[in-house]
Structures are given as C-alpha cells and as structure tokens.
Amino acid sequence: MLELQRNVIFGQFVETDSFVHRMDARVKIAATSVLIVASFLIDSFLGFAVVLPLLVVIGVVSKIPLGYILRGSRIFIAFLVFILAFQVLFYPGDVPESSYLWRWGILSVSTEGLYTAGIIALRVILLYYVTTMLMLTTSLVDLTNGLELIFGPLQRLRVPVNELVLVFVIAIKFVPIFIEEMERLARAQTARGVPFDEGGTLTRARRLGRLLVPIFISGFARADTLTIAMNTRSYRGGRYRTKLRQMRAKSSDWLVLVLVIVWIVIAWMV
C-alpha cells in the first residue's frame, strides 16, 4: 500500500522528552540558523567532515531513531539524486580536457562536475537535516512562540511579525496533514480500482497526479475552516496576547549555542 507517512517525515513532531526537546525554542532556532548559514559558507569536504560529528551528537541526544529519519527521507534523497545527476551531466564550468572521465555530445562526467555535485549534495543534506531536526524536536506552539519572540523587535518597524510567523508555521505543519489526506484519498481510490500499489515507479508516480485536484479542493476547504475557526475566536495575532508560560533559556541552552557557533567557525576555517 501507499504509505507516504512512512516515507515523508517533513514537518512531523516526535516527542521523546530528550535534552534537545527541552531546550529553549529560541536557542534551537538560533542554532539551526547558524547551521543553515554554515551550509552556505562551508565549501570543502573537510569542512563538512568536521560538522558531521556535531550532527551525530544532535541525532543521538534527540533520541529520535535514525532508521525513522532515514526511511522518512527516502523520497527526498531520491529527488536529490535525480537533480544531482543532471548537475553532473550538464556541468557548465570550464573543464580542462584531462579531467573528463566520460563524454557524449553535450553530456559529460568530469571530476570538477562530480566535486561540485558532491558539495551541493552535502549542503542540501545539511540544510534538510537541521530543519527536519528542528521540526522533529520542537512542538508547533514552541516553534511559533520562539519565532515570534526572535522577530518581535521588528514589530516596531511595522512588520506584521505574528501574522508572518503564523503563515510560516501553518505552512509547515500542513505538510503532514496533507500527506495523511493523500494517503486516505489513495486508499479510497484503490478500493475503487485505481491500483496505487501496483505497477512500476513511473506508473505509480503518474497515478499520484489523480490526487492533486481533490487535495487542492480539500486544502482550500481546510484553510477556509481554519480561518472561520480563528475568526470566531477573535484571533488578532500574538501581540495582543500574554503568555502563561514564559520562555526562559537556561545557561545550558546558551552553552549549546556557543558550542555550535564555535564548531561551525572551526569547520569553516579548515
């Protein structure tokens, strides 16, 4: 059967009550941002090798099973491989004749092409890993509060911070809901004789197209319902609200942030 929820974990939250889960959301968001910046700055394999242990530590401490993350990233990785194959084959750079490994018309495989593709792959994987980890370990409420507090000062410049954060968080958290919905639709259509669980990869992928229209319709319906629900409860954005639970960063949280920054600087320097 089509089991999308197994193969796409983007946007999921998994409670394991680990140290990472208990960290202050603002610190986690800040550390994630540092790692995102790092993914752009680091441009050598050695640099990424230095970052790797940090990622392993985050993974282990978060107590989220590696198998779950890997299986949940299958579609993402397949997509990445597909894109990178093009990157290698159509590598546009100036390549000395000696580094061509294979050539056929405009298609080629060169050591430069492979190197660039490798770096891009690592960058994208780092980006994906840290954002996925942030979402796996941070609840919707914490994520929203954290982002609102971080960007709160922009409110003075009349930036509608609360609304923007809300839109961002809803967009991310709708992903798992949509995936569940797609699975349900696929099951119902399978029962009527559209075999989503038969045929090759391409046939299966094409059948997913059948779900797009109903998914769109239910997406709009859902957004509509959410709007009505928020209006009936007089939602006006966070700046008119006070919080029962104030966020307080512990000294260990700051220590983690400093550790991440130092680690990244070292990785960037090497």
Question: How many CB atoms are located within 10 Å of the residue 102 CB?
Answer: 9
Return the range that interacts with another protein (CB under 8 A); candidates 1-9, 28-36, 154-162, 256-264. 1-9
Within residues 208-227, the interface with another protein by CB under 8 A covers 210, 213-214, 217-218
| Residue 1 found at the interface with another protein (CB under 8 A) | yes
Report whether 30 contacts 255 (CB < 8 A).
no
| Residue 18 found at the interface with another protein (CB under 8 A) | no
For residue 67 the two structure tokens come to 């198998």
Q: How many residues does the chain have?
A: 270
Q: Which amino acid is at 4?
A: L
| Residue 125 found at the interface with another protein (CB under 8 A) | no
- Distance, in Å, from the CA atom of 25 to the CA atom of 134, rounded to the nearest integer, reads 9
Closest contact distance (angstroms) between CB of 213 and another protein is 8
- Distance, in Å, from the CA atom of 126 to the CA atom of 105, rounded to the nearest integer, reads 34
Within residues 60-79, the interface with another protein by CB under 8 A covers 64-65, 67-68, 71-72
- Distance, in Å, from the CA atom of 76 to the CA atom of 11, rounded to the nearest integer, reads 13
Instruction: Write the DSSP assignment of 42-87 as a string of letters.
Output: --SHHHHHHHHHHHHHHHHHTT--HHHHHHTTHHHHHHHHHHHHHH
- Distance, in Å, from the CA atom of 226 to the CA atom of 220, rounded to the nearest integer, reads 10
- Distance, in Å, from the CA atom of 68 to the CA atom of 147, rounded to the nearest integer, reads 27
Closest contact distance (angstroms) between CB of 69 and another protein is 10
Within residues 162-191, the interface with another protein by CB under 8 A covers 184-185, 187-191
Cβ nearer to another protein, comparing 148 with 181: 181
Q: Which of 78, 159, 195, 259 binds another protein (CB under 8 A)?
A: 195
| Residue 16 found at the interface with another protein (CB under 8 A) | yes
Q: Which of 43, 163, 197, 224 binds another protein (CB under 8 A)?
A: 197
Query: Total binding residues for another protein by CB under 8 A?
Result: 31
Closest contact distance (angstroms) between CB of 66 and another protein is 12
Cβ nearer to another protein, comparing 213 with 269: 213
Q: Which of 93, 193, 200, 209 binds another protein (CB under 8 A)?
A: 193
C-alpha distances in angstroms, 178 versus 59, 77, 174, 181, 184?
A: 26, 20, 6, 5, 10
| Residue 115 found at the interface with another protein (CB under 8 A) | no
Cβ nearer to another protein, comparing 163 with 197: 197
Closest contact distance (angstroms) between CB of 127 and another protein is 23
Dihedral Cα 163, 166, 168, 169, nearest 10 deg: 170
Give contact residues for another protein (rule: CB under 8 A): 1, 3, 5-6, 12, 14, 16, 64-65, 67-68, 71-72, 184-185, 187-195, 197-198, 210, 213-214, 217-218
